[in-house]
């Protein structure tokens, strides 16, 4: 069985829910505490053993490439200034992984974005990490993506990371119809893209982490445009012969819109080893 080494990170969306922040800056570069969202996602992939990463970008996303590129002028300045800690951080960022970039030429949905990875992935299983979600593992647990890889290694089936969704958020998620096989593990019978609470088969939804097998590409190529005229990954996933849903031992922070981004910043700031006490004191004063 092939080892899961490749990760695909879709990052081509317009980010309209962040307008006007995203008028000139990619949504994936919006900072959470002290680094951009996309860096958290790449670091999770690397910590999960995925050292070959493809980021699907679009127009006006050059800043993402620059962020992970080598910066000799900056490094020289930091070295001459004696900022050796920042120099080490800059060099580490450029050496995180083997990162590749490809553009999704039209905004045709998440399924189409993943289809752009077909040539890069080839015939290997691969992970997908959405760029508007940060997953922080529970104490003592592996990264979220590594947990999905463990499930795949055991059952040899595609795995969707899932979580319990509040009723008012069901309309924003792909919701599964599944049977609980064992603790945290579901057999998925169907998955419905963004249903109303009345239409939803459960309150368990996809959390933006997937482990897919290469046959997803043939399915995507045969998937007709669905919601909003886009090729939906959910429509393709429901055509898998069999798949699993796994509730990971991690906390998910939703950076998909401004309220979610603000709350996630606050939650992660309060847990930060350097800034936590400062923010806690400031909140008490407020």
Which pTM does this prediction carry?
0.92
Measured distance CA(129)–CA(113) in Å, rounded? 12
Measured distance CA(126)–CA(242) in Å, rounded? 17
CB of 148 within 8 A of CB of 159? yes
Residue 1 pLDDT: 58
Residue 35 pLDDT: 93
The residue whose two tokens read 């088969």 is 201
In 3D space, the residue among 199, 26, 225, 232 whose CA is nearest the CA of residue 110 turns out to be 232
Q: Which residues of 1-21 are buried (b: 16+ CB within 10 A; e: fewer)?
A: eeebbbbbbbbbbebebbeee
Residues of the chain predicted below pLDDT 70 = 1-2
H-run or E-run covering 54? strand 52-57
Which residues lie below 8 Å from residue 60, measured CB to CB, with a gap of 6+? 24, 26
Q: Which residues of 33-69 are buried (b: 16+ CB within 10 A; e: fewer)?
A: beebbbbbbbbbbbebbbebbbbbbbeebeebeebbe
Which residues lie below 8 Å from residue 179, measured CB to CB, with a gap of 6+? 186, 187, 189
CB of 12 within 8 A of CB of 56? yes
């Amino acid at each position: 069985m092939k080892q899961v080494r490749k990760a695909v990170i879709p990052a081509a969306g317009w980010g309209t829910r962040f307008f006007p922040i995203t008028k000139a800056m990619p949504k994936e570069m919006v900072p959470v505490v002290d680094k951009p969202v996309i860096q958290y996602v790449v670091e999770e992939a690397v910590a999960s053993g995925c050292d070959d990463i493809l980021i699907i970008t679009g127009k006006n996303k050059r800043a993402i490439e620059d962020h992970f590129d080598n910066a000799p002028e900056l490094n020289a300045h930091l070295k001459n200034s004696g900022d050796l800690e920042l120099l080490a951080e800059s060099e580490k960022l450029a050496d995180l992984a083997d990162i590749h970039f490809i553009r999704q030429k039209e905004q045709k949905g998440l399924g189409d974005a993943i289809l752009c990875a077909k040539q890069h992935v080839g015939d290997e299983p691969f992970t997908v990490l959405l760029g508007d979600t940060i997953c922080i593992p529970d104490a003592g647990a592996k990264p979220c993506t590594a947990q999905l890889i463990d499930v795949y290694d055991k059952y040899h089936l595609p795995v969707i990371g899932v979580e319990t969704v509040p009723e008012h958020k069901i309309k924003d998620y792909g919701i599964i119809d599944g049977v609980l096989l064992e603790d945290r593990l579901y057999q998925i019978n169907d998955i419905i893209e963004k249903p109303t609470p009345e239409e939803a088969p459960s309150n368990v939804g996809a959390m933006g982490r997937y482990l897919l097998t290469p046959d997803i590409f043939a399915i995507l190529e045969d998937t007709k445009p669905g919601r909003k005229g886009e090729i939906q990954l959910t429509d393709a996933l429901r055509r898998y012969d069999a798949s699993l849903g796994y509730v990971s031992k991690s906390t998910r922070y939703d950076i998909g819109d401004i309220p979610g981004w603000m709350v996630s910043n606050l939650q992660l700031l309060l847990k930060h080893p350097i800034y936590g006490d400062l923010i806690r004191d400031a909140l008490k004063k407020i």
